[in-house]
Chains A and B, each alone.
Chain A
Amino acid sequence: MRTLHLAHLYPAEMSVYGDRGNVIALRQRCAWRAITLHVTPVAPGDQVDWASFDLAFFGGGQDSGQALIAHDLLERQGPGLRAALEDGLTMLAICGGYQLLGHYFLTHAGERLPGLGVLDIHTVGGKQRMIGNIVVETKLGEQTVRLVGFENHSGRTFHGSGVRPLGRVLVGYGDNGEDGRGGAVDRNIYGCYLHGSLLPKNPQLTDHLISLALKRRYGPQVGLVPLEAQLELQAQQTMLGRLLKRFA
């Protein structure tokens, strides 16, 4: 029986909009393949051995939540987490978590809040909230997948040359409402603004992340056992049908 270890960053402070659904999805799709996923919540002040983890999840929070954890993320976890990501740790970050992986967040008042700097992105606070259903078309390996989710953010995130876009926005605002980019990827770090929760209804991405983590831990020859995903794909298709009909 195989085991994977997931670090859930600051679940108390950084968990709005159902982001815990992503952890539930990872855990269940591992369990249905007889892979045990150990989930370790990381709280401010915790000593974490980042080299022992295979997966990390970082959700979105209220402004107050982000203020509470930013220092711990940068100062305490920063060096270990950065090294693990450099070494190929698979990470998914949503919304506030995504922003904190970038170089900085420029607030509306002009204050520059530093981020972890592991993704070549930066975020500018905006007045207008970008709220609504979103579809992002991405390539996972050879497979083209249309991810469905719900975005709700006022920060506008811009990409540098060191990341590639997770995908192209077909419906919704995406990272900044301007350049059609939805999310960013570098090494095994995935960040975007898709709540919904993202992973339950997009099992192709869930399995892609599990597969990356398995290969890193157990070797490149290790593949994923295919799993039925009828309800998940039905939910994905229903929303695609609803949203793209309007789009076409």
Chain B
Amino acid sequence: MFQLTHVIATHTGKLTGQMIRRLRLGGGTNLPGSLARRVAPDVLRTLSATLPQGVVLLSGTNGKTTTSRMLADMLQAAGLQVLHNRAGANLIEGLTTTALAATDWRGRTKAELGLFEVDEAALPQAIDETAPRLVVIHNLFRDQLDRYGEIDTVARAWRAALATLPATATVLLNADDPAVAALGAGLTAQVCYYGLDDAQHATGAVAHIADSQFCRQCGQRYTYPLAFYAHIGHYHCPACGHQRPAAQVALARLELHGAAGSQLYLRYPGGALELALPLPGLYNAYNASAAFAAALALGLSPAVARNSLEQFSAAFGRIERVNLGGTPLLIALIKNPVGASETVRMLLNADRSTASNLHLLISINDRLADGTDVSWLWDADFEILAGHVAHVTVTGTRADDMAVRLKYAGLEPQRLTTIPALDQALDHARKQLPAGTTLFALPTYTAMLELRALLAAQGWVQHFWEE
């Protein structure tokens, strides 16, 4: 059964986690797993195998945390005990830490099903170690090229890993992302697609930041009858005929109702339903569609999935509303060009009355977890902000780069203040704000953690590991 090394590994991990939290060193979401893996390198493999309902992995560039939280809510609503890396620690050490936390001192787990969001680069190893019953791949955009390398390299590694899955496993793919959809060809595992079928969300042309515009089979440029954002849309190859696969779970109609949320009409094999999603923006509708399709693939009832989506509240910092003693603050994470462009577009559509009068706090860091290369700021569409901004405060280790970006995007310099220190920047941004106006904060990942820590110290929010 359980080897001694695994018991020692479990103890090492659990003790480390308790100490980190007791000494108030932070959330302790990585180190325990890292230490346990030194004692027993296959501890995650062993723990995964003890889960009676198996493991679900979810990966992609954008939307991992939100989508996996949506799915976790559905699974819990269906009465399952779910092991989930909620805090977003999605490297292999983070997965191991999560698995250890739900394990008792004798190495037995209380959970029935493991649900892990997984870093793009860590997915192949996670597939190997957890032998998942379901893998969801959401999208693939350029992100931290200094860390991940080219997106073609990422896609190749994914493909090799997915090819090892047996016929009992299911792979759920976004039909609208050509690089992701192409992963489904020739797999032993069962393949299922989800996607958007509502033509009203098509824009005129494929965006300049589209990464995968070329046919995965013959290299010709795809034709896009419908382009939704970046390289996401309905595409076909004029040369070889390769085309977007039909989506079994389809978002047949989507009504975006600004900051309040959206109305989704979903079709699936054997039925259709309508739901009110309390999150704004096209990308969150995609997240909900992916979570819904995953729930059906796991055998959940559509009604349970709908009810939890309608009551969903987003993960810290992704889209979060905070009340700063009467000042409404909306935090939306930005971490790569596609996500940043979609977030900015969401802000502009959020509230027509304030859309030309936005107050922003943009915090750009270049720490390891953000990506040390800030070139991506130039791939994001900040141009659409011009003429819609009352005031922007830029902060972070790369505040100066962001200020230059906004100047070249066409913002008047007098609407722009650069304050590298976050606490002073937040104070300044609040002082610019007319009463009742929302302050929109757009931080990179580590900037978001800093902002959350600052807000927690001021008593407005909880620490993330307490959520």
Using a CB–CB distance below 8 Å, which chain A residues touch chain B?
11-13, 15-21, 24-25, 28, 62-64, 67-68, 129, 131-133, 150, 152, 195-197, 200-201, 230-232, 234-235, 238-239
Contact = CB atoms under 8 A, between A and B. Distances in A.
A68 B376 contact: no
Given A17-B145, A63-B152, A152-B146, A235 B378 contact: no
Contact of A18 (B213, B372, B377): B377
B404 A200 contact: yes
A196 B150 CA distance: 17
B381 to A, nearest CB: 11
A133 B407 CA distance: 23
A17 B373 CA distance: 8
A63 B418 CA distance: 38
Contacts of A131: 146, 372-373
Interface string B210-233: 100110000101000000000000
A165 B416 CA distance: 37
A189 to B, nearest CB: 22
Nearest to B373: A150
A64 B374 CA distance: 23
14 contacts: A17-B373, A18-B337, A21-B377, A25-B408, A62-B151, A63-B152, A64-B214, A64-B219, A132-B146, A195-B375, A197-B378, A231-B413, A234-B403, A235-B403
Interface residues of B, number: 32
A200 B378 contact: yes
B400 interface: yes
Contact of B379 (A20, A64, A196, A200): A20
B378 A20 contact: yes
Contacts of A64: 150, 152, 214, 219
B408 A200 contact: yes
Interface of B: 142, 145-146, 149-152, 208, 210, 213-214, 219, 221, 337, 372-379, 400-401, 403-405, 407-408, 413, 416, 418
A125 to B, nearest CB: 14
B152 A18 contact: no
Contacts, number: 93
A200 to B, nearest CB: 5
Given A200-B405, A201-B404, A231-B404, A17 B375 contact: yes
B379 A18 contact: yes
Contacts of A62: 150-152
Given A68-B214, A68-B219, A238 B400 contact: yes
A196 B375 contact: yes
Contacts of B146: 131-132, 150, 152
A129 B224 CA distance: 34
B372 A132 contact: yes
Contacts of B208: 11, 15, 20
B142 A231 contact: no
Best-buried of B145, B152, B210, B219 by chain A (most CB within 10 Å) = B145
Given A12-B210, A17-B375, A68-B214, A24 B408 contact: yes
